[in-house]
Amino acid sequence: MSEKGISGILNINKPAGITSHDVVNQVRGLIGIRKVGHAGTLDPMATGVLLICIGQATRLAEYLMKGQKVYRATVLFGQTTDTYDADGEIVFEVDPSILTEGAVNQAFLSFVGRVCQVPPPFSAIKKGGIPLYK
């Protein structure tokens, strides 16, 4: 296969348990070309849309990452973990029955619109070129 002949964007539903780079490597193996990258990074435990750019389309990755994102989550009230997700060690626990509907709704409102979020200590964000989850 010619490296120049294949270009495009794949919309992959990344499963939990693999990294975004693992998906890139799988695509490289399937299509037999090296010029493959992803637009954005999903944490290993995250599932969802991962855009894979192939060939000339790799130039579009930076523009694709500027698009609007939507997140969906399942929430467990009453526990805090060291990783801020379900995979971490529980570091704080409280009886969730003390929460009121009003308090929960108020907390959810803080996530509507543009949100500046502190990344969890075990995220795909890189510090010194190394993902925090490593």
Residue 2 pLDDT > 60, yes or no? no
Question: Rounded to whole angstroms, how far apart are CA atoms 9 and 124?
Answer: 22
Instruction: Assess whether pLDDT exceeds 50 at residue 1.
Output: no
Q: Tens digit of pLDDT for each residue in 84-133?
A: 888 889 999 999 999 999 999 998 898 888 888 787 777 777 888 887 77
DSSP state of 9: E
First-last CA distance in the chain: 35
Which residue in 22, 43, 87, 95 is the catalytic one?
43
43 in catalytic set:
yes
pLDDT of residue 4: 61
- Rounded-to-integer distance, Cα 48 and Cα 76, Å: 20
32 pLDDT exceeds 70?
yes
Q: Is pTM beyond 0.85 here?
A: no
Share the mean pLDDT of the chain: 88
Query: Among 14, 15, 6, which Cα is nearest to 34's?
Result: 6
